Amino acid sequence: MNDAARTKLDSRHWFGKTSAGVLLGYTLSLALSGVIAGLTRGGFEGGSGKIQFIMWMVAPLWAGVLGFVFLFRDSRSAWLWLALANVAAFGLLWALK
Amino acid sequence: MKIGSDIVKVYKDVHIWVGIVCGLMLFIAFYAGAITIFEKPLERWATPPSTLSPPPPLEDAEKLLAAVLAAHPQAAQRYSIVVNPVPDQPARVIWSERGARPRQQIEYGASFAADGSLQVEKLRKAQAAQMVDRMHQFVGLPLPDGIARYIMGAVALAYAVALLSGLIVLLPTLVTDVFALRIGKNIKRMWLDAHNALGIFSLPFHLVIALTSVVFAFHDPFYDSQAKALYGGQINWGEHEEAPTGSAPLPASQLLQQANAQLPGFEVYRFGFQRNRDGQLEASIVGLDVRRGARGRTYMQTHLDPFTGTIDTHDLPGHMDGWSESVNAFFALHFGSYGGNPVRWLYVLMGLAGAALFYTGNLLWVESRRRKQRGAATVEQKRSVRVLAVLTVGVALGCVAGLSTSIAAAKWLPSRVDDLMFWHEAIYYVVFFAAVGWALLRGAARSAGELLWLCALTTLLIPLSSLAGVWGIGGTWNHAGSAAIDLTALAAVPVLLLLARHSRRRMREGRADSVWSADMLPTVHATAKGALQSAD
């Protein structure tokens, strides 16, 4: 983390970043929870216990994305990168299914 | 750890704004949550004594049930046989009937009078513990459940972000700050140290509470979206098991013997019976194994074959698959429903410490924005600072006084009113909003001491109501063995009085250039009086 080498962050873009974290963060955690389900024992047919566990996974993933979304340079890059991450995660989910 | 100063600045802003918006709701959730840890003893304390004769022995439960079914055939739909009747489950046989409102269940209990005739009583379920739980679950908002639940979820999500951002802000100076508690002239430093120490040492607890609360609020939308994105539109929860068949269920005393043999260490509270849609009898066993975490806060429940007594253990902790065991742990970690009373007391302390975390966070905000006095001229604090100080005092202490008053009312309400929940909530909100109004009127400094007195007095009403119950004054009562509630409330009184004294001293002797000084005028009058003073 070299202060001089990168543009300084500021709080101006809070609304764009927060909304990206809430909306795209939610879809991203949804897709990632599916990836976790697909990669672990039992897949998508793991029974009621696994279905509940996978539902629980959305909360930490969503909170994690929303927490780190403020590290993006501005709103545009937050939306852009999270959209790309969504495409990748849903692609992976589709491949696993 | 080295983190760019700009990153720290951004996360400080995030932390501050989440704190300002959510801190007071979180205070209410944590304070009420600390009380709900002992919801069962509180419910017992608050339940009026039953008018039924002492329950017949468990061996005679079937005789009593037959008498109930003869007189009230509708009881066959859903009834339970209680193994160990207690004040909040005062009858050997209890059944429920649908009430007028949706999902309302009215419970009845039965016993035999001395002459052997059937006695039936509509159970007067206490609502005090449930009222505290509502304030906890819906962060004290007087809104319909559906709306308040989503607001609570949003608050919980923001609170998770606040934890992460607070950690990021603290990390660069963690090594030097973590064990430091610099009590002294620099009040801001002291509050910051206290806030940091509380936050960092209880971080795992707070992360658990925040993330589980997000799930408690949003599990339905989560399932709905996952049904679409993961499971092809519909979640397959597995086959519904066939209802057991047989001619007559085993007597409860035999079911209990079977249960004790199959589940050593599991204390059975009651057996539940109900008719499914096809009219077949289904049974469940409700109880607690204190060695394991309970997903249902105060109990564990699973199916049982009423004709053979065989317990289907796969819904019980210790017998589940790994996924379910983990999910059970998520619930238990939120409720503190593992390890018995020592863990419960620990959760009470953690809950109160959490409330203190939000309180100190707000004080910190107020303190960092203080306009310092230079020279002789009195300084006026910013409006935003005064408002937050007033709200912090009014909301936090209003919540404490409101809950105490409403709990104390539990012993006076049943003989006077029908809709207990309505009255519990009404009393809470009247005291709460009166306290907030008082704080607005009197300013943060004066009202802090006064409202702490109110908190102490209203909390004293709790043991006084039980004392009234000893003599049966005004329809009150006192159950033997319920003294822990009264003693806990009594122990809180001197603590609140000490805080009141401390606030008063700070108001009189503390610095004048602070919202906590008596010279600091109440919000609503400040502008006008400020103008008068400057004219002097």
> For residues B210 and B159, is the Cβ–Cβ distance under 8 A?
yes
Main-chain dihedrals φ then ψ at residue B304, nearest 5 degrees: -150, 145
Residues 257-276 of B with CB under 8 A from A: none
Interface probe for B, chosen from A56, A72, A96 (most Cβ of B below 10 Å), is: A56
> For residues B118 and B69, is the Cβ–Cβ distance under 8 A?
no
> For residues B364 and B188, is the Cβ–Cβ distance under 8 A?
yes
Is the minimum CB–CB distance between A60 and chain B shorter than 8 Å? Answer: yes
ipTM of the complex: 0.93
With tokens 């016993």, the residue in question is B111
Task: Measure B5 CA to nearest chain A CA, in Å.
Answer: 8
pLDDT digits (tens, 9 = 90+) for B440-477: 999 988 999 999 999 999 999 999 999 999 998 988 99
**Hey, what amino acid is at B111?**
S
> For residues B404 and B461, is the Cβ–Cβ distance under 8 A?
yes
Band (pLDDT 50/70/90 cuts) for residue B1 is low
A5 pLDDT higher than 60: no
Taking residues B179-187, report their average pLDDT: 75
pLDDT digits (tens, 9 = 90+) for B522-531: 544 444 444 4
- The average confidence (pLDDT) of chain B is 90
pLDDT of residue B108: 95
When mean pLDDT is compared over A1-10, B96-105, B316-325, the highest value belongs to B316-325
Interface probe for B, chosen from A7, A23, A32, A55 (most Cβ of B below 10 Å), is: A55
Whether residue B327 and residue A71 make contact (CB cut-off 8 A), yes or no, is: no
Taking residues B96-103, report their average pLDDT: 83
Whether residue A14 and residue B14 make contact (CB cut-off 8 A), yes or no, is: yes
Q: What does each C-alpha distance from B80 to A64, B17, B75, B385 come to in angstroms?
A: 45, 50, 10, 56
Q: Which residue of B has its CA nearest to A13?
A: B10
H-helix or E-strand containing A57? helix A48-68
Whether residue B323 and residue A60 make contact (CB cut-off 8 A), yes or no, is: no
Closest Cα to residue B23, out of B435, B427, B393, B440? B393
B512 pLDDT higher than 90: no
pLDDT digits (tens, 9 = 90+) for A15-63: 999 999 999 999 999 999 999 999 999 999 888 999 999 999 999 999 9
DSSP, res B37: T
Q: What does each C-alpha distance from B290 to B266, B271, B340, B341 come to in angstroms?
A: 8, 18, 6, 9
Domain layout of chain B by residue ranges: 1-48+127-241+321-368, 49-123, 374-536
Band (pLDDT 50/70/90 cuts) for residue B511 is confident
DSSP, res B273: E
Closest Cα to residue B499, out of B365, B397, B353, B387? B397
Handedness of CA B57, B58, B61, B63 (dihedral sign): negative
B97 pLDDT higher than 80: yes
Q: Using DSSP, state whether B315 is helix, strand or coil.
A: helix
Percent of chain A with pLDDT over 90: 78
pLDDT of residue B521: 54
Whether residue A34 and residue B237 make contact (CB cut-off 8 A), yes or no, is: no
Q: Using DSSP, state whether A39 is helix, strand or coil.
A: helix
B414 pLDDT higher than 70: yes
Whether residue B327 and residue A66 make contact (CB cut-off 8 A), yes or no, is: no
List for chain B the helix, strand, coil content (%; round to 5).
60, 10, 30
Handedness of CA B341, B342, B343, B349 (dihedral sign): positive
Main-chain dihedrals φ then ψ at residue B470, nearest 5 degrees: -60, -40
B463-492: buried (b, 16+ CB within 10 Å) or exposed (e) per residue? Answer: bbbbebbeeeeeebbbbeebeebbebbbeb
Beta strand pairing call for B267-275 and B281-288? antiparallel
B320 pLDDT higher than 80: yes
